[in-house]
Amino acid sequence: MTKIYKMPVVVGLFGFLVCAMLLELAVGYGYVMHLVVPRPSDTIIAFPEVQADMDLIGNFFVTLGMTAAATALALLIGIPFGYFLYRNTRYGIAYEGWLAAAFAAPTVLLYPLFLVIFGRSHATLIAMGFIPGAIPIIIQTRQGLLGVSQTLQNVGRSFNVSERDMFWKILLPSAVPTIFTGIRIGVMYTLVNIVAIEYLIDFGGLGRIVSEMYFRFDTPGTYASIIAVIFVSVLFYWGFGRVEKWLRPV
């Protein structure tokens, strides 16, 4: 059983290492310009340098914190609002199209407006991360609840369960996979927006380091900081996976 569980991880790591080695050779032999993509080994070597120069770890936690705050806000508002749209069909139908359109819009371009409202502060980052994060959560929460089997609901009613129990014991557990799909999409968009704004306004965590390294033409440093962004993403993806499993073990 353990072997079956571990195999995909091993295969994944092996594939990753093979790709890294191929890239190392391609850059080494000049097939790929080192100023555009560095050798993976150079990127690894760049980590301590970026840490010493720009406090990579400290800024990792800044971006992590901003993303966590924006995601928490998106969850706090997104799930209840999604539930509201599920309970009120007319509102649900009326707003779903608007929400989908808003989700597709490049809200990151609105950053000057947010700068005016919130100033050059972490509040701007959180607000701009919150918007693209909340929308998929709202949509998927509504969709998840709409998709709950009628049979399950009828069984609940036959047991005369209260509205509260109906929600916590039947609706929510059934909708969890769909809601978490929305959360995963939301957290990715939140992270992308936050890093993009950090890059654009030269404020905050990892995005600012990516920008600084890029403008220095320090390609290994740029990629090292991009990898740090990927680690933030991996951490959230893994974390929400664990929470989902906890909420719905089967």
Partner 1 sequence: MSNLLKSIVIATAGVAVLAAPAFAADKIRMVNSTKVVFETEHPYSALENGFFKKQNLDVSIIHGSGGAASLQAVITGSQDVVYGNGVLGVLTAYAKGAPIRALGSNIRGVPDLYWYVKTDSPIKSFKDLKKGMEFAYSRPGSTTNLAALYIKNALKLEAKLVSVGGPSGSRTQLMSGQVATGWSVYPLNKGLIREGKIRVIGTGKEAAGLVGVTIRVIAANVNWLNKNRDAAKRMMVALEEGQKRTYNSMDQLKSYAKRWKLNFEDVKSAPMDTPYEVSTLLPVAGLDKINKIALETKKIKKLLTAAQLKEFVHPMGNKPN
Give the binding site for partner 1 (CB under 8 A).
Answer: 33-36, 53, 112, 115-116, 119-120, 200-203, 211-212, 214-219
Q: Residue 69 CB, nearest distance to partner 1 (Å)?
A: 21
Alpha carbons 84 and 78: distance in angstroms, whole number? 10
**Other residues' Cβ atoms within 10 Å of the Cβ of residue 164:** 8
Q: Which is nearer to partner 1, 131 or 201 (CB)?
A: 201
CA distances from 186 to 72, 112, 164, 191, 244 (A): 11, 22, 27, 9, 15
**Other residues' Cβ atoms within 10 Å of the Cβ of residue 118:** 15
Q: Residue 125 CB, nearest distance to partner 1 (Å)?
A: 15
Q: Residue 191 CB, nearest distance to partner 1 (Å)?
A: 21
Q: Which is nearer to partner 1, 86 or 199 (CB)?
A: 199
**Dihedral-angle region of residue 149 (phi above 0 means left; psi in -120 to 50 means alpha; beta otherwise):** beta
Q: Which is nearer to partner 1, 92 or 212 (CB)?
A: 212
Q: Which is nearer to partner 1, 133 or 220 (CB)?
A: 220
Please report the sign of the dihedral spanned by the C-alpha atoms of residue 224, residue 229, residue 232, residue 236.
Answer: negative
Alpha carbons 153 and 167: distance in angstroms, whole number? 10
Q: Residue 33 CB, nearest distance to partner 1 (Å)?
A: 6
Q: Residue 78 CB, nearest distance to partner 1 (Å)?
A: 29
Alpha carbons 240 and 188: distance in angstroms, whole number? 12
- Under DSSP, is residue 29 helix (H, G, I), strand (E, B) or coil? coil
**Other residues' Cβ atoms within 10 Å of the Cβ of residue 107:** 18
Q: Which is nearer to partner 1, 99 or 212 (CB)?
A: 212
Q: Which is nearer to partner 1, 37 or 44 (CB)?
A: 37
Q: Residue 207 CB, nearest distance to partner 1 (Å)?
A: 13
Q: Which is nearer to partner 1, 20 or 110 (CB)?
A: 110
Count of helices and strands (H, E) across the chain: 11, 0
- Under DSSP, is residue 31 helix (H, G, I), strand (E, B) or coil? coil
Alpha carbons 212 and 193: distance in angstroms, whole number? 18
Q: Residue 222 CB, nearest distance to partner 1 (Å)?
A: 11
